Structure 1
Amino acid sequence: MSFVKEFKEFAMRGNVMDMAVGVVIGGAFGKIVSSLVGDVIMPVVGVLTGGVDFTDLKITLKDAVGEAAAVTINYGTFIQTIVDFLIIAFCIFIVIKGINKLKREEPKVPEAPAAPAEDVVLLTEIRDLLKNK
């Protein structure tokens, strides 16, 4: 099998195409969630916390000397990233929960058993008559 033919077979496989669609839709969904967090939720969180910006929190290990920049541990950026992650995870949880609720089907009522065939009914009647004699 030639390399090109093998690659074409691989690329056109159903799972690969589904995954590609998932990645594209996931990227677009990620932009929507990022906008929701950055443009809608974080301003509200900023008002509630009094405008605290975690990204400014840091520990300076060595001050700037001449052209060399200061050496800092930026733990505020890490905290901000964790807060962003928790908000994004919560938003995705709510969206997935809503989708699952829409997809949930009504419980199926078990169907009544089908009526027995005529010959089975006839044989049952004969059996019952023979038992009664």
Structure 2
Amino acid sequence: MSFFQEFKNFAIKGNMIDMAVGIVIGTAFNNVISTIVKKVVMPPLSLLTDGVNLSNKKYILRHASDSAEEVAVGYGELMEALIDFFIIAFTIFVVIRTINHFKKRSDDPKDETVETPKNIQLLSNIEKLMEEQNTLLKKKRD
């Protein structure tokens, strides 16, 4: 199969659209989390550190002079990015865990609190019919 044909199949099956939607939602989600970290999490954290703004923390390698700019490692911004990452990772973990929990419940044909999808109901009915058939066949053999 040619490269173009593979790409065409990929695009037609909807994977590309699903991926694009996921990227757009992920970007918006990232902006929300960054704002929460900068405007909600960091201000109380700076109160705990005597009003020090974490994003301004840096290790100066060379001080600014008339002929050269300051060279510094901004470890405070790195710490904010790590906090962003951990909040995003934790949130995604909780969302996926919740989705998996509901998926397990919906796949269980014996759980009557959740409406079972048609394909699971049909498979469950087929399983019951096969069990009945096996018991009848065993009785005929005996």
What TM-score results when the alignment is normalised by the length of structure 1? 0.61
Distance in 2, Cα, partners of 1:104 & 1:63: 59
Shift in CA distance, 102/34, structure 1 to aligned 2, threshold 3 Å:
farther
Identity %: 38
- How many residue pairs match? The answer is 120
- Higher fraction of helix: 2
Which string of whole-angstrom CA distances, capped at 9 and with x for unpartnered residues, describes residues 4-63 of structure 1? x96993543432222222222222332333333333333343444444322222222222
1: CA distance, partners of 2:52 / 2:22: 36
Which amino acid in structure 1 is aligned with residue 39 of structure 2? D
Q: Specify the structure having the higher radius of gyration (Cα).
A: 1
Cα distance change, pair 35–72 in 1 and its aligned pair in 2 (3 A) = closer
Partner of 1:93: 93
Long gaps (5+) in structure 2: 111-123
Q: How does 1:74-113 map to 2 (within 5 A)?
A: 74-105=74-105, 107-109=108-110, 112=128, 113=131
The one-letter code of the counterpart of 1:43 is: P
Gaps of 5+ in 1: 129-133
Matches within 5 A, 1:60-75: 60-75=60-75
Q: What's the C-alpha RMSD, in Å, of the aligned pairs?
A: 3.5
**Separation in 1, partners of 2:90, 2:135:** 57
TM (norm. structure 2) is 0.58
Task: Give, in whole Å, the separation in 2 of the partners of 1:29 and 1:108.
Answer: 35
- How far apart are the structure 1 equivalents of 2:75 and 2:34? 22
Equivalent residue number for residue 37 of structure 1: 37
Letter in 1 for 2:8: E
